[in-house]
Structure 1
Amino acid sequence: MAVSPSLRSARLHYAPLSEEDFDALHDIMSDWSVVRQLGSWPWPPEPDFTRLRCRPYRGTGFIYGVRLDGVLIGTNGVTDGEIGYCFGRDWWGQGFATESSRVVIEQAFNTGLTSIAAKVWDDNASSYRLLTKLGFRETHRFSEMSKARGIETGSIALVLDRADYA
């Protein structure tokens, strides 16, 4: 999947993560209210895990560091056909997740994907609202292990088809 090395939207700049992002990303991932909503991040925060994530994604898809005025405020990307994002708590409620998700959805569809999957914990109403606002539709509910929470957690699967987004 060919992706742009760097993108811009109205307020934000997107580029792959690098070693220079460690301090900012680790600060974001040291906030329980952020990490509890993610599927694969450990709690308590592990610096070595964060360092592994502070480099360009090499799998199928892409992950961008999302920057505002040069400051890393979160991440957003599509990997293995699934959208994933997180933002530092100071940046919640300001439209950054919506703005950046539109950018990564366009990027993913421009690289040939015909649908994008998403998952949210069933207690993450804000993320569920964001995804449905973007056109994602719920497909089913299930339980899976949350690495940070350390327990089986209710999850909601959603999908966005290219035809529905256009």
Structure 2
Amino acid sequence: MTDASSPRGRLVYRRLGPADAEALHRLVSHWEVTRQLGSWPWPPDPGFTASRAVPYGGDGFVWAVCLEGALIGTVSVTAGELGYMFAPGHHGRGYGTEAARAAVSRAISDGVRELRAAVWADNVASRRLLARLGFTETARTREMSKARGEMTDSISFRLRAADFG
């Protein structure tokens, strides 16, 4: 994946890499971010962050989301599952929806026919974002949250490529 700009021209997407480790670690050093992630530890661990700040080699992609040259978040589709996180100072500005829409569009153009996503039930903003993209709820479960250190209510979603508009 080469660098790309968002359709609205605000954001740039590029492969996440080792040079992003410091900025990524600042991002996951916010409890309000990390508490919403399923597999990130709390307190933040620089070694764990560095292990994630590498080009993704599996099925899909992980993008750094940049605004005016600075990393403000990440968005990914790995093994058919959409994921994203954004720095608190950039919440509520439409960046998450814009980046997630770009990632879903790219995944569909790459041949993915169905995408999944999962969020903690108390993550209302992410539930709304997924609904805006056309995702529908498929299941409710309880899962272990690594950051929270407890079983947490989770909601799974699905989007068929044919339903994305």
TM bucket normalised to smaller: over 0.9
Task: Say yes or no: does 1:143 pair with 2:142.
Answer: yes
**2:3 aligned residue:** 6
Matches within 5 A, 1:5-24: 5-9=2-6, 10-24=9-23
Aligned counterpart, 2:29: 30
TM-score, normalised by the number of residues in structure 2 = 0.97
**Pairwise CA RMSD:** 0.7
| Secondary structure of the structure 2 residue equivalent to 1:163 | helix
Sequence identity (%): 49
Q: Measure the CA separation in 2 of the matches of 1:159 and 1:13.
A: 26
TM-superposed CA distance for 1:91, in Å, is: 0.5
Within a 5 Å distance, the mapping from 1:1-166 to structure 2 comes to 4-9=1-6, 10-166=9-165
Q: Structure 1-normalised TM-score?
A: 0.96
Q: Give 3-state SS (helix, strand or coil) of 2:138's partner.
A: strand
AA matched with 1:82: E
Measure, in 2, the Cα distance between the counterparts of 1:22 and 1:137: 33
Q: Which amino acid aligns with 2:142?
A: S
Task: Tell me how far 1:99 sits from its aligned partner.
Answer: 0.5
Structure 2 unmatched ranges of 5 or more:
none
2: distance between equivalents of 1:93 and 1:132?
15
Deviations 1:9-57 (A, max 9, x none): 1200011111211111100100000000000100000000010111101
Report the Cα offset of residue 120 of structure 1.
Answer: 0.5
SS at match of 1:152: strand
Count residues in correspondence: 163
- Tell me which stretches of 4 or more aligned residues in structure 1 moved more than 3 Å: none
User: Deviation of residue 5 (structure 1)?
Assistant: 2.4
C-alpha deviation, 1:60, in angstroms: 1.0
Distance in 2 (CA, whole Å) between partners of 1:60 and 1:6 is: 19
Distance 2:2 2:121 in 1: 33
Q: Where does structure 1 lack aligned partners over 5 or more consecutive residues?
A: none
Whole-Å separation in 2 of the counterparts to 1:105 and 1:7:
14
Q: 3-state SS of the aligned residue for 2:117?
A: strand
Shift of 1:94: 0.5
